[in-house]
Chain A
Amino acid sequence: AQSVTQPDIHITVSEGASLELRCNYSYGATPYLFWYVQSPGQGLQLLLKYFSGDTLVQGIKGFEAEFKRSQSSFNLRKPSVHWSDAAEYFCAVGPTAGYSTLTFGKGTMLLVSP
């Protein structure tokens, strides 16, 4: 069965500093991979997704993620964090065969300090 691990429950980053959120997945082959963001009181918004090809994926709001097959990882990065990036971030994995069910990690809460 597929699974996703986000090892950090909370992360605090200073505004303007770089950010990396970790995501490790378990799957029998290369899955489809996603990052979503949830701002307080809001639904989840898709930041970026990886299907195949270039392992560095660009998303919205200046985020990027890198797929590393050897490490079963899909870490999210941003070079300079803004206060508005404070939110909860979810990594998700979807199977490459079958239908659309995604499995989500438990999320990482990002706090941005002045």
Chain B
Amino acid sequence: EAQVTQNPRYLITVTGKKLTVTCSQNMNHEYMSWYRQDPGLGLRQIYYSMNVEVTDKGDVPEGYKVSRKEKRNFPLILESPSPNQTSLYFCASSPIRQGAKSSYGYTFGSGTRLTVV
């Protein structure tokens, strides 16, 4: 089954304790992205990657890191989490438009609800 898998689904952590949220897709998509979702603010992009070793900042990158060492994986790293990073996080992937217009559009993971206390 074509899917984007995020882990964990739920995470409670303490301020300053480094954590990683994993994201993996099995569709051979070039493009991957992380969003956070907060009430009243909708989805805001954190980082995105257009291919292996190619990443760029989205709208709200502060406090986050990413890496793209393999095409299928795109982990989100919080080096020193703070309470304002409490949110619902989504990973998404998509083929690059030029190569696959008919399938262009995001496939989302099920989300990771992070609480930082």
Contacts and interface: CB of A to CB of B under 8 A. Distances in A.
Contact of A32 (B4, B31, B48, B104): B104
Interface residues on B, range: 20 to 34
Contacts of A45: 108
Interface residues of A, number: 21
Contacts of A46: 105-107
Interface stretch (B14-22, B35-43, B65-73, B77-85): B35-43
B74 interface: no
Interface of B: 4, 31, 33, 35, 40-43, 45, 48, 50, 58, 90, 92, 94-97, 101, 104-111
Interface of A: 32, 34, 36, 42-46, 49, 51, 90, 92, 94, 99-102, 104-107
10 contacts: A32-B97, A34-B106, A43-B90, A44-B90, A44-B106, A49-B105, A100-B95, A100-B96, A106-B40, A106-B41
